[in-house]
């Protein structure tokens, strides 16, 4: 040892300024010499903090979450907080399990996707006093701290643009809406716009399907087999739209001449597609970053813990054309 008590070592590690420079350097030398690392368990037990936050996302395979997580993780790491990630595969029960599992691991903060979940879960979180932030969705009057955007309004804006371009036979490929408020809001938004013009979205023109390339392609093939076929397919995200474009090509049709397609998210993919995808731009990385900062403020019991809303924007590329051109 460096001739000091464990208390001093602890102080050197946690509040270096409270220790005299001379002792501090001696301790630091010893730490370096023995390649000492404090024991996490001991620390967690004594201080009752783990400096860990948990995120439960649907899947890492969706680029939007991967990107958001990356930003989240970077922002948290700056303050020495570790991120633990679990996935639910879009299953609400599994999400609840994962949250409980992470609670058991003593995470002292949560980042959760969307708002739709069992009230009992919210109650548990509050009772334990574990702060959390809901990401990726936002609506007026959401009672929890959120960092997101208005999925419904964004989808509505996209659908309005579609209608402005003269489309009347509108079909939609949505994500699975059960337990997914983002997917639900996007369908609602499209409905809003259609209804406002006296149109509807009946069952035959709306398919819910997992957010996967092949699933999107299958759905598009089904929608396009109708007579008369839709002039536009509005998709719940970019991956579904990519699938739809694949299907269109495989049917010998041409986008946007025969059928227009729109996406949602604006991931890299949208740029690569041919034609490039008209979609809704969502600032995933900035949301991840903002979520981290909001969560840190909540943990620190700071005052400024208001929800953060991001604006989305229509990005018009080549996949959406006016009807009949």
Partner DNA sequence: GTCGCCAATGCAAGCGCTTTTATTTCGATT
Partner DNA sequence: AATCGAAATAAAAGCGCTTGCATTGGCGAC
CB-based contacts of 320, cutoff 8 Å, min separation 6: 161, 162, 165, 232, 256, 260, 261, 262, 278
Check: CB of residue 259 under 8 Å from CB of residue 228: no
Write down the least CB distance from residue 1 to DNA, Å.
9
Stretch of 2-10, 84-92, 175-183, 314-322 contacting a second copy, by CB under 8 A: 84-92
Report in angstroms how near the CB of residue 237 gets to DNA at its nearest. Answer: 41
Query: What region does 35 belong to: left with phi over 0, alpha with psi -120 to 50, or beta?
Result: left
| Residues 121-160 as x/- pattern, contact with a second copy by CB under 8 A | ---x------------------------------------
In terms of CB distance, is 86 or 199 closer to a second copy? 86
- Residue (32 or 268) nearer to DNA, CB: 32
- Dihedral-angle region of residue 302 (phi above 0 means left; psi in -120 to 50 means alpha; beta otherwise): beta
Q: Please provide residue 313's backbone torsions phi and psi, each rounded to the nearest 5 degrees.
A: -145, 145
What contacts 95, CB < 8 A, 6 or more positions away?
Answer: 56, 88, 112, 117, 179
Q: Which segments of the chain does DSSP mark as H helices, in order?
A: 6-14, 21-34, 40-47, 63-77, 92-104, 119-128, 151-164, 181-196, 213-224, 238-250, 268-272, 284-299
Q: Which of 12, 24, 52, 266 binds a second copy (CB under 8 A)?
A: 52
Count the site residues for a second copy by CB under 8 A. 51
Polymer length of the chain: 325
Please report, as ranges, the residues that interact with DNA according to CB under 7 A.
3-11, 13-14, 18-20, 22-24, 36-39, 41-43, 45-48
For residue 82, state whether it binds a second copy (rule: CB under 8 A).
yes
Considering only residues 236-255, where is the footprint of a second copy by CB under 8 A?
Answer: 239, 242, 245-246, 249
From the list DNA, a second copy, none, pick the one residue 14 interacts with, judged by a Cβ distance below 5 to 8 Å according to partner type.
Answer: DNA
Given the DSSP bridges, would you call strands 279-281 and 313-315 parallel, antiparallel or unpaired? antiparallel
Selected range binding a second copy among 1-9, 26-34, 99-107, 132-140, rule: CB under 8 A:
99-107
Q: SS3 of 90, please?
A: coil
* Smallest gap from residue 302 Cβ to a second copy (A): 25
Indicate whether 302 belongs to the interface with a second copy (CB under 8 A). no
Q: Which two tokens stand for residue 39?
A: 């024991």
What does 11 bind: a second copy, DNA, none (CB cut-off 5 to 8 Å by kind)? DNA
Determine, following the binding rule CB under 8 A, whether residue 99 of this chain makes contact with a second copy.
no
CB-based contact 133:111 (threshold 8 Å): yes
Q: Are 71 and 277 in contact, with CB atoms under 8 Å apart?
A: no
Q: What is the CA radius of gyration of the chain?
A: 25
Closest CB to a second copy among 135 and 273?
273
CB of 247 to DNA, least distance (A): 53
Pull the structure tokens for residue 258. 């025969």
202 forms part of the interface with a second copy (CB under 8 A) = no
Choice from 43, 169, 229, 297 touching a second copy (CB under 8 A): 43
Residues near a second copy (CB under 8 A)? 35, 37-46, 48, 50, 52, 59-61, 63, 66-67, 69-70, 73-74, 77, 82-87, 100-106, 124, 213, 239, 242, 245-246, 249, 268-269, 271-274
């Amino acid at each position: 040892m460096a001739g000091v008590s464990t208390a001093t070592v602890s102080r050197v590690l946690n509040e270096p300024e409270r220790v005299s420079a001379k002792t501090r350097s001696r301790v630091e030398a010893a730490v370096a010499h023995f390649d000492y690392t404090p024991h996490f368990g001991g620390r967690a037990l004594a201080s009752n903090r783990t400096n860990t936050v948990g995120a439960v996302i649907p899947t890492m395979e969706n680029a939007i979450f991967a990107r958001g997580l990356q930003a989240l993780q970077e922002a948290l790491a700056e303050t020495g907080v570790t991120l633990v990630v679990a996935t639910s595969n879009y299953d609400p029960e599994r999400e609840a399990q994962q949250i409980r599992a992470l609670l058991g691991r003593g995470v002292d903060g949560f980042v959760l996707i969307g708002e739709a979940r069992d009230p009992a879960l919210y109650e548990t979180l509050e009772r334990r006093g574990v702060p959390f932030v809901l990401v990726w969705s936002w609506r007026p009057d959401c009672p929890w701290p959120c960092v997101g955007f208005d999925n419904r309004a964004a989808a509505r804006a996209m659908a309005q643009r579609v209608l402005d371009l003269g489309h009347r036979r509108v079909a939609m490929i949505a994500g699975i809406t059960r337990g997914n408020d983002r997917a639900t809001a996007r369908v609602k938004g499209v409905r809003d716009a259609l209804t406002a013009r006296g149109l509807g979205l009946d069952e035959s023109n709306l398919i819910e399907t997992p957010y996967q390339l092949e699933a999107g392609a299958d759905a598009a093939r089904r929608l396009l087999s109708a007579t008369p076929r839709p002039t536009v397919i509005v998709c719940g995200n970019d991956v579904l739209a990519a699938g739809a474009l694949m299907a269109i090509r495989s049917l010998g049709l041409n986008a946007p001449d025969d059928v227009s397609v729109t996406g949602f998210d604006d991931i890299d993919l949208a740029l690569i597609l041919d034609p490039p995808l008209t979609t809704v731009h969502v600032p995933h990385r900035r949301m991840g970053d903002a979520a981290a900062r909001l969560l840190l403020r909540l943990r620190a019991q700071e005052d400024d813990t208001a929800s953060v809303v991001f604006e989305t924007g229509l990005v018009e590329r080549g996949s959406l054309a006016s009807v009949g051109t």
